[in-house]
Amino acid sequence: MRPIRFAIALFKYLLWGEEVTADEKQARLAVCEPCEFREDKKCGICGCYLKKKASWSSESCPKNKW
């Protein structure tokens, strides 16, 4: 299921997304740092790598934290 979610996220990014600013990416990652769903470098809910997910404007936190 996680590979499918990533494929959908990538598709949305390629069609409508863009890179967020470095400040916005850092702010998003700061929210992820203490998150109880974080699994090392990935989101435990959607399975996306946090650095990539946080840098795409077309993506958001599955728990609406950013």
Residue ranges of the domains in the chain?
2-55
* Cβ 48 vs Cβ 9: under 8 Å: yes
As a whole number, mean pLDDT of residues 15-21 equals 94
pLDDT tens, 22-49? Answer: 999 999 999 999 999 999 999 998 888 9
Q: What is the pTM of this model?
A: 0.85
pLDDT at residue 15, rounded to an integer: 93
